[in-house]
Each structure stands twice: as structure tokens, then as C-alpha cells.
Structure 1
Amino acid sequence: MKECKKSLVLLNMGGARNKNELELFLTNMFNDKNILTVKSNFLRSLIAKFIVKSRKDSAWENYEKIGNRSPINPLTEKLVHRLNDELDEVCVHQAMRYTPPFANEVVKELENKKAKDVILFPMYPQYSTTTTKSSVEDFIEAAGRKFHIEVIEPFYQNRTFNEAIVDTIKNSVEKYEEYNLIFSAHGLPQKIVDSGDPYEKQINEHVEILSAILKEKKINFKSISLAYQSKVGPLKWLEPSLDDALTKYRNEKVLIYPIAFLIDNSETDFELSIEYKEKAQEIGVLDYKVCKCLNDSDLFIKAIKEICNLK
């Protein structure tokens, strides 16, 4: 096995490859203290079991509509493979929070490769306790003091990264002026933001940055706005919801960019591309398109290398 003293580890949530793995994903997610903010581990476990039992079958029906698996796994593997080809002295791995490959598995592999320095790259451009904090803490707990660990800070301000996003948006439609661009971010319960989570603030800043670059490049959409997707349960979530935002665009054209995701997953391929598309058609939206995530685009790979200071 090749020794690799420096390693780059991409951190993400993961996604199900089959129905059993979907149950694993849901079980691990709702047992995460950063997701289900209940102090008692026992109570959290009981709540998690109830949620998983009530949601598993309906969630799997959604997966069946996108090929019985989340696209996040093959797409991340492709990105890891390309980065390994690009980086001469760095080994690149992925560690998922809720499905394999788990952090403890990756730690063992890094130990076998005699890794000393590890760069953690959370695949979340904006920071949230529910994503970045959860994934980073999980890996550090698994690693203990085995490596010197550097954690990459939120990178939504990086110019190359934003050029990659603008490039994706630019190539999604021809007549920009006919479309209303909506940056769709994964929602959060309002109470998490109120407790000090910077996610909403950083999302707003990111939309401003991207809007300025689009204007600079004379890519002029009919309108640019922000909305939040994925609300579940009775709690108040960040607003406006994408459901409500779409109601403004009857007889108009809409382009969605998933601003909180870097790799396509069940929420882009099912929720945005199928579920919300059906809602848009019911409202009377003339044309509804969803941009692909950055995945393994050349500019995104360039941005990762730049953000991590790697050659």
C-alpha cells in the first residue's frame, strides 16, 4: 500500500445505496445531537426510532424515483478519483457522516498509509452546527491524536469557487433575462439559527456575492432571490420557503441553483428536480429548471486545491 504522509479528507453526510442503508442513514442522522438537539441520549434514541419507523417507507419511495440510490456516492467517488490524479503528494479520501465510508474506517486507512497531516474539507460552503460541526467533530473523535489535523473554514467567499458556480448557472439556460434565478438553500429550524448558528447569515452573504459576480459578467436574470427547501415538522423554519417563493412565478420561467450543496444528492435529484417541479407545474410556472451541483467540475477541483493550498 502506498504511503501518504499528507491526506485530504472530504466530509459529507452520505446517502443510501439501498433500503437497508436508508434506514441506517436516518437512524444515524436522528441520533446526531447536532440534528436532534435533545440533551438525553436515551430520549433522542427513542425519538429517532419513532421517526425512522414512520418515515422509512415513504422516503424509500422517493429513492425509487431516482434509481434506488443516492447519486452522492458515485459522484463523490469520481471527485476523489480526479483529485487523487491531480495531487501528486496528497492522498484524497471521503468520510461520510451517516453512511459508509465512516470516519473510523477512513482513520484506519490513513494509519495504514502512515499519514501524519490530515486536511478536513467539509463539503458545506457555509457553516452550520448541523453539517460542518457535526462532520468535523465526528472525524476528530474517531482520529483522536493520531494526526495533525487542519480544518478548512467556510469557503463561500472564495472567488474561484464562486466562478465555478456562476459557470454552472451560465450554462444552464440561454436567455437569462427570461428566467427568475432562485438560490435554494437547505432549510433549518429557526431555533437553531436563533441559538447562534451562522448559516442564515452566511447564506445571505453568499447570495450577495454571487449576485454581484453575475452582474459584473452581465448575466442579467429577470430577478434573483433566495428561498429555503426541505421543511419538515411543525417548528418554524427559515423563510421564505421554496413552496411559497414559487407561487410568485405563475406564467414565468424559473431556474433553481442549490446553493448549499456541492454534490448532487437525493435532495437535488428528487426534492428539487421532481417534487418541487411538480409543485411549480401545478402553480403554472412556464419552465422550471434545476442546475446541477459542481460535482467534479474542473473549476471546482481548481477551487479545492486553492482553498486547501495544495498543488
Structure 2
Amino acid sequence: MSAPRIGLLLVNLGTPKGSDYWSVRRFLREFLTDRRVVDLPPLLWRPILEAFVLTFRPRRSARAYRSVWNIERDEGPLKTITRAQAEKLAPRIDGIVVDFAMRYAGPSIGDEIDALRAEGCERILLFPLYPQYAASTTASVVDEAARALARLREQPTLRIVPPFYDDAAYIDALADSTRAQLAALDFTPEVLIASFHGLPQAQIDRGDPYRRHCEATHDLLRAKLGMSAEHLRLAFQSRFGRTQWTGPYTANVLQELAQSGVKRVAVLTPGFVADCLETLEEIGVELRHSFLAAGGEKFARLDCLNDSEDGLRALETIARRELSGWV
């Protein structure tokens, strides 16, 4: 009998199975009916979701997805990059079976736990690829893993990688990547913006530590880069609906900078470990256009760590630490 193996499961948010209206609609339905994501009472939220959100938003989102779609693989960039992270991480940690899953639209967490068990893995390290904790992201992954384990008679032992918003390996990787990308630009930005995905302010008010984690990442990265708070600004993107979200909003900050005479900016996204619709299209297209239309002259979107050497080294360092005692 072969010795039990150890599995490492990388998990990110997910992407529609297609870039058409109905695929995006199914994805949004799964995403927006997760009570961790929208915690309004269902009797209040479901009519709004069905009558308005799932009627109009999929068409606009589908257009955005098509602009960044990986045509060769017929998938969203987040799935392509997360797969590459898993494939490139595997040979760096001997004796570990590495795979990836998506919280929404597949490959599902439950299916991938089953696949790792079929490979003989009796111990699994679950790695939510969210540097900053939020109940709508990290906790939702943990919930889904628990549901997958609940149906098993023989459960694998599960460990969960904690949020790594202040981890030295992650901050170092961000700093190295930022320096290299800034050096490759054909202009020198007057201001950099560290843009994180937003969260409804009501969720923060109820105790979610997400904003505090984002501020910590921003402060540590700023110190590592030797930049002032005015040179590396903190902002939040992807506001949805009319309620108050964490601010300042990235779109407003860019508008204000352009109107104040700032001509050259760069935007980095330390809340994402892989480029996706929000970084490639929202920042790289929408917000770029808005900044230039407001009077800006030069705009750069810096890549996430993705499957770069800097990014893989950070993921490996964190994973090895959490595998301590198993490996």
C-alpha cells in the first residue's frame, strides 16, 4: 500500500463558463445568491436580483468578459492564470499534489477535493487566494469546503491558509513586481494608486476586518517602496448598487487627480493575486478611459503577481509554512 499523499488546493473566485449572456447570467446568479456575498434578507433581495440585476447586468458584463476572454482556451483569464499558478507551483514542492478550484462556476471545491482524495491525499491544505480576509470571499470558500466534507463518510484532514495581507513574502513579492513594472514604463507616474476591491460599508460596520487588512497591505507596501501616502494612494473599486461602499472610490480618486493637474498615474491591485475582469477591463479599460477623458495623459495598469516568479515564490513560501509538520 502506498503512503498517504498531501494535497494543496488553490481556490479563487471564479469566472463564467462562457462569455455569452446566459453563461454570465448563471454565474452571477450563483455568485449573488451566496449569503456571504449579499447578506440582505432573501425576501428583499431575490425580487431585486431576478427583476433587475439578472435582467440587465449580464449583457453588460458579457461584453466586458468578451474583451478579456481567453479565446484559445475558451475561458476567463482568472481561470487560465489560477491553473498556471497550480501547474507551476507543483514542481516547486516535492511530494505534493497541487490542483485548483473556483468558488463559483467550477471546477468546484467539492469536485477537486474528491479528485485529490482519488490521488490518495488524506491531508489537504486549502489555499484561498485572497490576501485580505472578507466573509464574502475567504469565509465563503471555507463554507463550501465544509459542505463538501459534510457529505463524506471518510473525511481528509483539512488545513486552511490564513489571510496573508501582511505576510512578508507577499509584501516583498508585491514590492519587487511593482519596482520592475514601473522601471519598464516609458513614463514616471506622479501618483500610484493601490486599488482594492470594494465591500459594502455595512459589512465593515458589522465587524468584517477587510478594510483594516487592505490598509495594512497598503501601509506595508508603501513602506517597502519608500513612498509617501500621497505618492501611493489607497482606493477601492467595483462598487455595486447605490449603498455606501468602502472608499475612497478609485474612479473618484482618478477624476480628482486629473482635475488637479496630475497627468501621469499607475494603478496596482494588491488585493488580487491574479488578473481578472476587475483588473483587466474595469481598471485597464474603463478607468483608463475616464482618467484620460478628464485630462490625464499617461495611464498604466500594473499586472498582478499572476504566475510570475515573484508570485510563485510568495505562494510557495506561504504554502511551505502552512504545510509544516506534514512535509
Q: Tell whether the structures are fold-level matches, with TM greater than 0.5.
A: yes
Q: Which of residues 272, 275, 281 is equivalent to 1:270?
A: 281
In structure 2, the gaps of 5 or more residues are: none
Q: Which of residues 99, 102, 107 is equivalent to 1:96?
A: 102
What displacement does 1:304 show?
Answer: 1.7
Q: Which of residues 157, 170, 194 is equivalent to 1:148?
A: 157
Structure 1 residues 25-40: aligned runs within 5 Å: 25-40=27-42
Runs ≥4 in structure 1, deviation > 6 angstroms? 219-222
- Structure 1, residues 75-132: CA drift from partner, whole Å, max 9, x if none? 1111111111222211111121111101121122122112111111110000000110
1:55 equivalenced with 2:23 (yes/no): no
What displacement does 1:147 show?
Answer: 1.2
Q: Provide the C-alpha distance between the structure 2 equivalents of 1:245 and 1:268, rounded to a whole number of angstroms.
A: 16
- Structure 1, residues 22-56: CA drift from partner, whole Å, max 9, x if none? 2221011111001111344x665544333222211
- Mean Cα deviation higher: 4-13 or 227-236: 4-13
Q: Provide the C-alpha distance between the structure 2 equivalents of 1:3 and 1:266, rounded to a whole number of angstroms.
A: 41
Q: Provide the C-alpha distance between the structure 1 equivalents of 2:36 and 2:213, rounded to a whole number of angstroms.
A: 19
Q: Provide the C-alpha distance between the structure 1 equivalents of 2:41 and 2:120, rounded to a whole number of angstroms.
A: 38
The number of residues matched between the two structures is 306
Q: Provide the C-alpha distance between the structure 2 equivalents of 1:107 and 1:46, rounded to a whole number of angstroms.
A: 34
Describe the SS at the equivalent of 1:172: helix
Sort the Cα spacing of 1:3 and 1:14 in 2 relative to 1 into closer, same or farther, 3 A: farther
Describe the SS at the equivalent of 1:97: strand
Aligned to 1:65: 67
Question: Is this contact kept in 1: 2:255–2:290, CA < 8 A?
Answer: no
Sort the Cα spacing of 1:47 and 1:111 in 2 relative to 1 into closer, same or farther, 3 A: farther
- Mean Cα deviation higher: 153-162 or 136-145: 136-145
Structure 1 residues 74-153: aligned runs within 5 Å: 74-144=80-150, 146-153=155-162
Question: Is this contact kept in 1: 2:174–2:305, CA < 8 A?
Answer: yes
Q: Which of residues 227, 230, 239 is equivalent to 2:238?
A: 230
Question: Could you tell me the percent identity over the aligned residues?
Answer: 26
Structure 1 residues 154-193: aligned runs within 5 Å: 154-174=163-183, 178-193=189-204
In structure 1, the gaps of 5 or more residues are: none
Q: Provide the C-alpha distance between the structure 2 equivalents of 1:243 and 1:291, rounded to a whole number of angstroms.
A: 16
Aligned to 1:24: 26
Whichever residue aligns with residue 145 of structure 2, its letter is F
Whichever residue aligns with residue 250 of structure 2, its letter is L
- Structure 1, residues 134-182: CA drift from partner, whole Å, max 9, x if none? 1111112112361111111111211121111111211222388643110
Question: Is this contact kept in 2: 1:103–1:139, CA < 8 A?
Answer: yes
* TM-score (normalised: structure 1): 0.92
Q: Provide the C-alpha distance between the structure 2 equivalents of 1:158 and 1:307, rounded to a whole number of angstroms.
A: 8
Q: Which of residues 248, 255, 279 is equivalent to 2:256?
A: 248
Q: Provide the C-alpha distance between the structure 1 equivalents of 2:3 and 2:113, rounded to a whole number of angstroms.
A: 14
What displacement does 1:4 show?
Answer: 6.2
Question: Is this contact kept in 2: 1:11–1:136, CA < 8 A?
Answer: no
What displacement does 1:189 show?
Answer: 0.9
What displacement does 1:300 show?
Answer: 2.0
Question: Is this contact kept in 1: 2:195–2:250, CA < 8 A?
Answer: yes
- Structure 1, residues 258-306: CA drift from partner, whole Å, max 9, x if none? 1210011111111010010110111111211011011112222222222
Question: Is this contact kept in 2: 1:10–1:93, CA < 8 A?
Answer: yes
Q: Cα RMSD between the aligned structures?
A: 2.2
- Structure 1, residues 226-265: CA drift from partner, whole Å, max 9, x if none? 0110112110111110111012322421110112100111
1:10 equivalenced with 2:18 (yes/no): no
